[in-house]
Chains A and B, each alone.
Chain A
């Protein structure tokens, strides 16, 4: 009996008291991140929910609405589990050393108002799924290593006020429809973007 019993005790007593999916998602994030400044130290998965964790803010129903980890010197990657934070309004991860791809599951966060991933080492493409973020007003992805083109689907984000993808390695043309009509050119600087698309004349992915 010994081996399984020991395993049992290890698993039983280390398993979270909480079954809160948002807490699990955030704890999964913690396990992906290296945290030399211990800003995630209070993220104890055995607590009822993540609402008393530092840098996490909940609403009155104990749903996570803010994640404030800007300038926290964390590194690592993001995972699909962040898509579990269905009530998230502010995802503030700017100025860290987070790399890898931006999970497409972030496109599930349809309550999101602000997504600040700028100043990291994200690579790969801007997920098309971001077109689902109908409440999104601020999307700052600047100063990363993103490649590919700006998904045309983002032109449907009618609430988008700020869009900044400068200082990446994007290519193709800059959309002109929807909110893109009013974004300044600085938002697209230092990429391999080819200037505003000429509708009907050039392929959207020209230059990519």
Chain B
């Protein structure tokens, strides 16, 4: 710029300045035009109707606009004006006299323009509750007159600009509820006038911001919900003595509480939850005598609840949940008569409730759950706690009866008494609690009948009375609980029928009555009016008749367990449409019908048991589509046809039990894909052909039962790959050839090795001597010949064994395990000799080396048979079934 030009500009400037006081309209016009340009950039809004070019003269009366004495815009207040768009088109250069800009509570998006720094006279800036994004411009540091700034609740990100350190007059600063990150705190000096500071819910990390301890006028400090860690500096407690509100909830602060905490004697509200504080709750906290809210939950405080807390007479809210406090509740707490919220849950608090707690007549919520509290629940408490809306004392050891005074708590919404030792009957006065939403009395010793007054609780959504000693019938008034979503009465002694009225529960999601003495036919309409019904369990009762046809009409059914009843007939038609089924247990009933027609496509089905029913039909290829199935149990039905090759797709299958049906054809070679399978039983069918060599791919197998079929060919040597086998039964087939010596490598065999009743020939492999865990061993009824290998004396765990009806010869192996074995273990072998009942003694010349040299002296009998009754029964059963499998099938 040349000299004359500069001079010209200077004079022009001076000229304009001299004009200024006389030409206010032109300044106002600039402001009005800037506002209108901005307005025009925004989506139309009726809030700004007064803003128009034709109305420039009334600029100072435009909505949200205030002017100073000379008519220049000094305040813009458009809070809660339903505006959207951005503030990027607001020309901040045009408002030299603006002191207050309030745009809070709109839907402004976009970023905060750096031009905002031009508002050098700005005292108040409120952009809270918008959806502003981007980072806070460094130019904001130019607002050196600012006293109040709130950017609360936007989507601002990036580092907090250290230039805020220039706010030397700031009194109120709220950057809460954004995504702001830690700046270099050392570049931010303390603010001498700051009273209110919030960085609530941002992404601040590293240690405690250092400048804060120097802000000596702070009364309000909220750093909650960040990632700050380390110790809280001692200087906070010694310097900020004006603090009334301190909230550092949900950070990662650690260490013990400072003894200097008591110096914050003006505190009304102290919130330290969800950190890693340790040590004791200091007695001296009681010196903060105006404390109204004290929250210390979810830290690692230990030791006592200080009795001195009783001095905090203003206390309204005390939350010490989720620590490791292990004292009794000090009676002094009863002096805090303003308490409306008392939460001591999830500690290790012991003893009974001090009677003084009945003074807490303002209690609204009381949470004492998950402690070790004991003793009876005095009626005195209940008659004083009539304001309670939530009473949660579950998971303690309270005893005695539930006082009838419970009926006085008519404001209760939540009553959770589960997992205690309450006894006696459920007081009928419980029907007075008409505001109840949740009632859980489960897992106590309540006896007697369910009071019919329970039908009054029409707001109840969850009712759990399971695992008590309740008797009598289910009252039909339960059908009046129109809001009920979950009903669990399982594991009691309830009898009679399920009341018809239960079909009226339109919100019902969970219905569980398993393990009672219920009987009769289910209500015909059950499920028809309950479209959300997802979980149903009637297991272990004596229900009979057919399942109601509308049971699954809502198609929400997920878990359906009705095992161990006397249900009969087909499954309801709607069943096959239940796409959400995950768990189905129908076993031990008298269901009939074609198994493949009863089920549809259930892609989420994980567990299916239909064992011990009267299902017929064949397994169609469809069964290969249940890809999530982990357990498929269909034993003891009348299912026929072949096992479909598509079973190879059930790769999640762990348990496959199809025994005792009428299956024909081969064991599908495709089953080699079932790598997770650990239990496979196909016994007692009509399967034929050879055992596929792919069986060696089932490397997870622990229990394999192919007995009682018509299998032919050799035992595949690849069985040795099934290294985890604990039980192997191939008995009662037409297997022939040698026993592969590789079976001796199945050293995990423990429960059973049964190859009996086949046509196996030649030698018993000496490798069986390695099976030193095997307890039950049967080779009877084959064509085995030669000697019983002396190596079999290595089978030191044998309890029951059977070599009978073969062509074996020579001496029996040494050791009293064999000589003291079951009486008939060796009969039917013409050539065996030895010192066993029924065998002739061996010739001295031929038997010396095997049967005499290492025979131990007579030791006291081990009582093998006496201690193993069930195994004897098993062997007597003579079918090679694995008891473990049978047992498993009787279960849910």
Partner of B443, one of A19, A49, A55: A19
Q: How far is the CB of B203 from chain A (nearest CB, A)?
A: 24
Which residue of B has the minimal Cβ distance to A38? B676
| Contact between chains at B390 and A5 (CB < 8 Å) | yes
Which residue of A has the minimal Cβ distance to B861? A158
Provide the residues of chain B in CB contact with A194, threshold 8 Å. Answer: none
| Contact between chains at A159 and B367 (CB < 8 Å) | no
| Contact between chains at B797 and A4 (CB < 8 Å) | no
B3 at interface (Cβ–Cβ under 8 A)? no
| Contact between chains at B724 and A70 (CB < 8 Å) | yes
| Contact between chains at A62 and B891 (CB < 8 Å) | yes
| Contact between chains at A135 and B416 (CB < 8 Å) | no
Q: In the complex, A48 Cα to B491 Cα: how many Å?
A: 9
Provide the residues of chain A in CB contact with B152, threshold 8 Å. Answer: none
Which of the 9-residue segments A10-18, A26-34, A74-82, A148-156 touches chain B? A10-18
Q: In the complex, A135 Cα to B796 Cα: how many Å?
A: 17
Which residue of A has the minimal Cβ distance to B295? A3
B819 at interface (Cβ–Cβ under 8 A)? no
Q: How far is the CB of B673 from chain A (nearest CB, A)?
A: 18
Q: How far is the CB of B333 from chain A (nearest CB, A)?
A: 17
Q: In the complex, A47 Cα to B892 Cα: how many Å?
A: 9
Provide the residues of chain B in CB contact with A1, threshold 8 Å. Answer: 364-365, 389-390, 413
Interface residues of A in 30-79 (CB under 8 A from B): 42, 47-49, 51-52, 54-55, 57-60, 62, 65-66, 68, 70-71
Provide the residues of chain B in CB contact with A5, threshold 8 Å. Answer: 390, 413-414
Which residue of A has the minimal Cβ distance to B514? A48
| Contact between chains at B892 and A52 (CB < 8 Å) | yes
| Contact between chains at A58 and B891 (CB < 8 Å) | yes
Q: How far is the CB of B634 from chain A (nearest CB, A)?
A: 15
B877 at interface (Cβ–Cβ under 8 A)? no
| Contact between chains at B414 and A8 (CB < 8 Å) | yes
Indicate the member of B630, B678, B884 with the most A CB atoms within 10 Å.
B884
Provide the residues of chain A in CB contact with B345, threshold 8 Å. Answer: 7
Which residue of B has the minimal Cβ distance to A114? B750
B488 at interface (Cβ–Cβ under 8 A)? yes
Provide the residues of chain B in CB contact with A62, threshold 8 Å. Answer: 891-892
The 8 A CB mask of A160-190 against B (1 = contact, 0 = none) is: 0110000000000000000001100000000
| Contact between chains at B367 and A57 (CB < 8 Å) | no
| Contact between chains at A8 and B390 (CB < 8 Å) | yes
Provide the residues of chain B in CB contact with A71, threshold 8 Å. Answer: 724, 748
Q: How far is the CB of B728 from chain A (nearest CB, A)?
A: 15
Interface residues of B in 433-467 (CB under 8 A from A): 438, 440, 442-443, 462, 464, 466-467
Q: In the complex, A137 Cα to B867 Cα: how many Å?
A: 9
B22 at interface (Cβ–Cβ under 8 A)? no
| Contact between chains at B797 and A161 (CB < 8 Å) | yes
Provide the residues of chain B in CB contact with A204, threshold 8 Å. Answer: none
Partner of A19, one of B438, B467, B609, B892: B467
The 8 A CB mask of B593-614 against A (1 = contact, 0 = none) is: 0000000000000010100000
Partner of A138, one of B413, B438, B462, B773: B773
Given contacts A15-B418, A65-B887, contact A4 B892 (CB under 8 A): no
Q: How far is the CB of A22 from chain B (nearest CB, A)?
A: 12
| Contact between chains at A48 and B539 (CB < 8 Å) | yes
Q: In the complex, A103 Cα to B162 Cα: how many Å?
A: 58
Provide the residues of chain B in CB contact with A68, threshold 8 Å. Answer: 702, 726
B654 at interface (Cβ–Cβ under 8 A)? yes
Given contacts A4-B343, A52-B892, A68-B702, contact A12 B654 (CB under 8 A): no
B369 at interface (Cβ–Cβ under 8 A)? yes
| Contact between chains at A58 and B887 (CB < 8 Å) | yes
Q: How far is the CB of B656 from chain A (nearest CB, A)?
A: 12
| Contact between chains at B365 and A60 (CB < 8 Å) | no
Q: How far is the CB of B564 from chain A (nearest CB, A)?
A: 10
Partner of A48, one of B390, B537, B797: B537
Q: In the complex, A66 Cα to B727 Cα: how many Å?
A: 13
| Contact between chains at A182 and B888 (CB < 8 Å) | no
| Contact between chains at A159 and B466 (CB < 8 Å) | no
Indicate the member of B341, B467, B654, B888 with the most A CB atoms within 10 Å.
B888
Given contacts A3-B343, A58-B887, A161-B796, contact A12 B364 (CB under 8 A): no
Provide the residues of chain A in CB contact with B797, threshold 8 Å. Answer: 137-138, 161-162
Which residue of A has the minimal Cβ distance to B871? A113
B490 at interface (Cβ–Cβ under 8 A)? yes
The 8 A CB mask of A108-152 against B (1 = contact, 0 = none) is: 000000100000000000000000000101100000000000000
Q: How far is the CB of B792 from chain A (nearest CB, A)?
A: 16
Provide the residues of chain B in CB contact with A12, threshold 8 Å. Answer: 416, 438, 440, 462, 464
| Contact between chains at B367 and A4 (CB < 8 Å) | yes
B515 at interface (Cβ–Cβ under 8 A)? yes
Q: How far is the CB of A39 from chain B (nearest CB, A)?
A: 9
Q: How far is the CB of A97 from chain B (nearest CB, A)?
A: 17
The 8 A CB mask of B855-892 against A (1 = contact, 0 = none) is: 01001101100010000000000000000100110111
Partner of B863, one of A19, A92, A159, A182: A159
Provide the residues of chain A in CB contact with B364, threshold 8 Å. Answer: 1
Which residue of A has the minimal Cβ distance to B370? A11
Provide the residues of chain A in CB contact with B418, threshold 8 Å. Answer: 15
Given contacts A8-B390, A162-B796, contact A52 B891 (CB under 8 A): yes
| Contact between chains at B678 and A54 (CB < 8 Å) | yes
Provide the residues of chain B in CB contact with A92, threshold 8 Å. Answer: 750
Q: In the complex, A42 Cα to B365 Cα: how many Å?
A: 37
Q: In the complex, A197 Cα to B892 Cα: how many Å?
A: 51
Q: In the complex, A60 Cα to B414 Cα: how many Å?
A: 39
Q: In the complex, A47 Cα to B607 Cα: how many Å?
A: 12
Interface residues of B in 115-158 (CB under 8 A from A): none
Provide the residues of chain A in CB contact with B365, threshold 8 Å. Answer: 1, 3-4
Provide the residues of chain B in CB contact with A162, threshold 8 Å. Answer: 772-773, 796-797
Which residue of A has the minimal Cβ distance to B366? A4
Partner-A contacts on B (CB < 8 A): 319, 321, 341, 343, 345, 364-365, 367, 369-370, 389-390, 392, 394-395, 413-414, 416, 418-419, 438, 440, 442-443, 462, 464, 466-467, 488, 490-491, 512, 514-515, 537, 539-540, 561, 585, 607, 609, 630-631, 654-655, 678, 702, 724, 726, 748, 750, 772-773, 796-797, 799, 856, 859-860, 862-863, 867, 884, 887-888, 890-892
Q: Known A-B contacts: A1-B389, A161-B797, A162-B797. Give 18 more (CB < 8 A).
A: A4-B392, A4-B414, A5-B390, A7-B392, A17-B466, A19-B467, A48-B490, A48-B514, A48-B540, A54-B655, A55-B678, A57-B884, A59-B887, A71-B748, A92-B750, A158-B860, A158-B863, A161-B796
22 contacts between A and B (CB under 8 A): A4-B341, A4-B414, A7-B345, A11-B394, A11-B395, A15-B418, A19-B442, A42-B630, A49-B892, A51-B888, A54-B654, A54-B655, A54-B678, A58-B887, A92-B750, A114-B750, A137-B797, A158-B862, A159-B867, A161-B796, A162-B797, A181-B859
Q: Which 8 A-B pairs have the closest CB atoms?
A: A51-B891, A19-B467, A4-B367, A60-B890, A4-B365, A57-B884, A4-B390, A58-B891
Partner-B contacts on A (CB < 8 A): 1, 3-5, 7-8, 11-12, 15, 17, 19, 42, 47-49, 51-52, 54-55, 57-60, 62, 65-66, 68, 70-71, 92, 114, 135, 137-138, 158-159, 161-162, 181-182
